[in-house]
């Protein structure tokens, strides 16, 4: 089961008044990991932009299971669950250093035309590029 593994340290500025990692930090981690996944699948962001293609999110959900704290480390495992003609469903699991599941996520990503803002259908070759991370 090929996955993108993304790890990040936890810094003091990521901790909220409740003493755990702020929910917004998870969004940033997902954004960073998603860009790495796209690049790993051969979709360089600068090259896409040059071609007039913009990768966007159509949907994002996060289900929190347990908090992360300053003394923890975070590991995110992401993969492509479903590859459609115009979108890709990317799922991810967040873990702490004890391998405890902290949160799960699901994102629907698609490419849109930079001018018309309409979704673009991927070619079979483009869809196959995501197979490196298909789970």
Domains and CATH numbers, the chain: 4-133 (3.10.129.10)
Distances (CA, A) of 53 to 72, 74, 86, 92: 37, 31, 12, 24
Bridge partners of residue 15, in order along the sequence: 21
CA 77 to chain centre: 9
Amino acid 38: pLDDT: 96
DSSP character for 133? G
Range 108-126 average pLDDT: 95
Range 84-97 average pLDDT: 96
Amino acid 107: pLDDT: 98
Angle formed at CA 70 by CA 66 and CA 72, multiple of 5 degrees: 60
Q: How far apart are CA 60 and CA 64, in angstroms?
A: 13
Q: How far apart are CA 52 and CA 91, in angstroms?
A: 26
pLDDT at 52 over 90: yes
Q: How far apart are CA 90 and CA 15, in angstroms?
A: 26
Residue in this structure with the two tokens 């600068």, named with its chain if needed: 46
pLDDT, tens digit, 9 for 90 and up, residues 16-36: 999 999 999 999 999 999 999
pTM of the predicted model, to two decimals?
Answer: 0.93
């Amino acid at each position: 089961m090929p996955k993108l593994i993304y790890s990040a340290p936890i810094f003091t500025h990521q901790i909220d008044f409740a003493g755990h990692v702020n929910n917004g930090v998870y969004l940033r981690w997902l954004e960073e990991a998603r860009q790495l996944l796209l690049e790993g699948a051969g979709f360089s962001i600068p090259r896409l932009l040059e071609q007039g293609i913009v990768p966007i999110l159509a949907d994002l959900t996060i289900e929190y299971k347990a908090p992360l704290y300053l003394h923890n480390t975070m590991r995110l495992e992401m993969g492509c669950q479903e590859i459609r003609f115009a979108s890709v469903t990317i799922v991810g699991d967040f873990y702490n250093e004890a391998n405890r599941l902290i949160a799960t996520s699901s994102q629907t990503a698609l490419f849109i035309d930079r001018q018309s803002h309409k979704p673009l259908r991927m070619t079979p070759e483009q869809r196959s590029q995501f197979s490196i991370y298909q789970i």
